[in-house]
Amino acid sequence: MQARPIFIEYRRRRGFQLEYQVIRSTEREIVKSGNPLMRLVGKKQSTKVVGTARVEMMMVQRTADVSPDWVASVKSTIESAARTVGGEPAPFGRDEDPCHTYLNERVDRFGNVLDVSGSAPRFLTGVYPDRSLRPGETWDVNEEVAIPKYNASGRADGHEKIDLPYLYTLVGQQKVENYQCAEIKVVAKHQSYVNETTIHQYLVEGTLLFAYRDGFLVHSHVNTISRLGTQKSTTEDRILDEMRLLREGNEDTIGGMRL
């Protein structure tokens, strides 16, 4: 029996808020290529993890207003944040603390961002098509993102903005707590040459669980890899972002109880 199609959209209303636990884990790994002759005879490459960190945040999204054409004004605020580096508590420096940073966004009902300002981190929550979907169906979305930039010598040189093509796939449905969720896979890839012997790859792969009857994200698990490869070594910076819904309801709802 063929699964019934579903329609995925954000259903925001004035005064509605969502509270998420967000965990960002980062790791840098360097792989030495080694002697070519040693690789031919099966010798392992040298791998070294040179840094790990974890930031746990509490983020609140508040919908300030929704226009007649379903464009919402949404403010996301980091209410609290704590960090560990190498497994040990590590207080933020003066300009590092994300606590009380915010994003102001104007977003349509399918997740397209029309305008954004602020300094809080952004997280992938999904952009959806204006049509019903069945399991296995895909859709493409281009989004502007800032990725690491490298100069001709292969050294980090800030960030550059690119249009990154995302491929979304509706995998199926699953029940998460009290929500009927669409399970969505998302992948993206960008590749460029820094110079004749150095290549940069930027990869995104994740899973989103979206409560399509309620109109908001319940859980996400997104891996981002920035990989710089030379003849001698490959450096990978990995970021894992996990979002988990804690509470939802109107701002005046006691304890986040559902209305």
Q: Give the domain ranges of the chain.
A: 16-256
Triad 35, 36, 41: Cα angle to 5°? 100
Architecture of the structural domain at 16-256: Roll (2.30)
Q: Is the pTM of this model over 0.75?
A: yes
Q: Is-contact 212 8, C-beta < 8 A?
A: yes
The DSSP element (H or E) to which 39 belongs, if any, is: helix 36-40
Encode the chain (259 residues) as per-residue pLDDT tens digits. Answer: 567 899 999 999 999 999 999 999 999 998 886 554 444 445 556 777 778 999 999 999 999 999 999 999 999 999 999 999 999 999 998 788 898 899 999 999 999 999 999 999 999 999 999 999 999 999 999 999 999 888 877 788 888 999 999 999 999 999 998 999 999 999 999 999 888 888 999 999 999 999 999 999 999 999 999 999 888 888 899 999 999 999 999 876 534 444 3
